[in-house]
Amino acid sequence: MQVENQEKFIELRVNRDFGDIINVYFEFFKQNLKKFTNVFLSYNGIFLIGLLVVSYLLVSGVIGLITNNQNTVLDVVGSGSEAYIMYFIFGGILFFVIFLMVAVLNYSLSTSYMIKYEERKGQNFDKTEVWEEVKNNLGSIIVFILILMLLFFGIMIAAIILTFIPLAGMLAQYVIQYFVMAWVGVSFFVMLKEKRGVTDALGEGWNLVTKNFWRSVGVNFILGFLIGLLFMVVIMIPGILIGIYTFHVVQNDVDLGASVVPTIIYTLGTCLFLIIAVYSQCLSQFVNGLLYFSLHEKTYNLNSRSKIDQIGLQDQ
């Protein structure tokens, strides 16, 4: 078990206003970047390989359809465009399955990590404890995700209806989107932290978020925007390199199907993009973790009461 940076514990269970939540988020992110990345890589290994395979299938299918060149490993499947279409479709289905599993896993890992951080008053816990927390609540997590899928279809219908309302409809879509992100994220923390049932957790999450509606929406909007900018900055360097290579391909009329190099370059680029997208999702859930602890403390004052009781005991 690791014992590190105990004196640098960032107290999470504090009633913070909008600006404080944003400031503490980046402080927490900076302090826990290395340790959480270690957790992320440790339990995503097989899925990262899966994303690499999916990237290869998608890229190979697209390149094959563009060039319609049969001098690749795809010859074993069939001939002509049908083989490449099959690879693209299979890659797309596999991508959906793997990406969904990865999203659920990392949503759970980031939540469990933050819970352990708060319980141990710092980084005094091992990565296996984070995984144990996820494993012990796996049944509830699966049920939560299934309910979330049904909720998603309802949101999609509402979004389609709102598209017919100029400007106000677009603004309403964004408000609903960030409200749902806050509600779902906070409810997930309620479920794992307080060991509640799925419907009970969703009810408590609704109670916490609706009573602090604009704070919840605003925090998710601002930090979501900043995380998106960070994502763009990180992806910019490989994006520029791939863009330069693509420009070279177009300008020199390079036959993509004649060499394995384009497939390798675009496969690695696609895979890197997907991995960073998954990691940024974890960072988004940290936002809702801070929101959960802040709103919970504002509502119940558990931490403040505990400190007052401790002071009273010391005075006796």
Distance from C-alpha of 263 to C-alpha of 307, rounded to nearest angstrom: 60
**What Å distances lie between residue 49 and 28, 55, 95, 173, 203, CA to CA?**
29, 10, 12, 35, 38
Residue 134 has pLDDT above 60, yes or no: yes
Residue 217 has pLDDT above 70, yes or no: yes
Task: Name residues whose C-beta falls within 8 Å of residue 262's C-beta, 6 or more positions apart in sequence.
Answer: 63, 245, 249, 254, 256
pLDDT, residue 309, reads 61
Confidence of residue 74 (pLDDT cuts 50, 70, 90): very low
Is residue 283 within 8 Å of residue 108, measured between CB atoms?
no
State the DSSP code for 260: S
- Per residue in 28-69, pLDDT tens? 999 999 999 999 999 988 888 888 898 988 888 888 777 765
Which is it for the CA torsion 164, 167, 172, 177, positive or negative?
Answer: positive
Is there a domain that residue 18 lies in?
Answer: no
Most confident of 131-135, 240-244, 263-267: 131-135
Is there a domain that residue 19 lies in?
Answer: no
Per-residue buried b or exposed e for 223-235, using 16+ beta carbons within 10 Å of the residue's own CB: bbeebeeebeeeb
Is there a domain that residue 5 lies in?
Answer: no
Is there a domain that residue 7 lies in?
Answer: no
Alpha helices in the chain (DSSP H): 18-42, 45-67, 80-119, 127-136, 138-162, 168-193, 198-210, 213-251, 261-300, 302-315
Is there a domain that residue 22 lies in?
Answer: no
Is there a domain that residue 88 lies in?
Answer: yes
HSE of 152 in the Cβ direction (CA atoms, 13 Å)?
6
State the DSSP code for 71: -
pLDDT, residue 82, reads 76
- Per residue in 138-159, pLDDT tens? 999 999 999 998 888 888 898 8
Distance from C-alpha of 219 to C-alpha of 178, rounded to nearest angstrom: 9
Residue 253 has pLDDT above 50, yes or no: yes
Counted domains in the chain: 1
Is there a domain that residue 10 lies in?
Answer: no
pLDDT, residue 110, reads 96
Give the residue from 35, 114, 40, 69 showing the smallest Cα distance to 291: 114
pLDDT, residue 154, reads 87
Which is it for the CA torsion 124, 129, 133, 136, positive or negative?
Answer: negative
| Average confidence (pLDDT) over 251-270 | 81
Distance from C-alpha of 2 to C-alpha of 21, rounded to nearest angstrom: 27
pLDDT, residue 257, reads 66
Distance from C-alpha of 204 to C-alpha of 278, rounded to nearest angstrom: 27
Is residue 269 within 8 Å of residue 242, measured between CB atoms?
yes
Give the domain extent around 160: 32-315
Q: Which two tokens stand for residue 233?
A: 């900055």
**pTM reported for the whole predicted model:** 0.86
Residue with tokens 């710092």: 122
Q: Which two tokens stand for residue 245?
A: 């290579």
pLDDT, residue 2, reads 45
Task: Kindly report the length of the chain.
Answer: 316
Residues of the chain with pLDDT > 90, as a percent, come to 47
Distance from C-alpha of 69 to C-alpha of 60, rounded to nearest angstrom: 11
pLDDT, residue 158, reads 87
pLDDT, residue 71, reads 47
Distance from C-alpha of 147 to C-alpha of 151, rounded to nearest angstrom: 6
pLDDT, residue 72, reads 46
Is there a domain that residue 191 lies in?
Answer: yes
Residue 315 has pLDDT above 80, yes or no: no
- Per residue in 75-131, pLDDT tens? 444 455 777 788 888 888 988 888 889 889 999 999 999 999 999 999 999 999 999
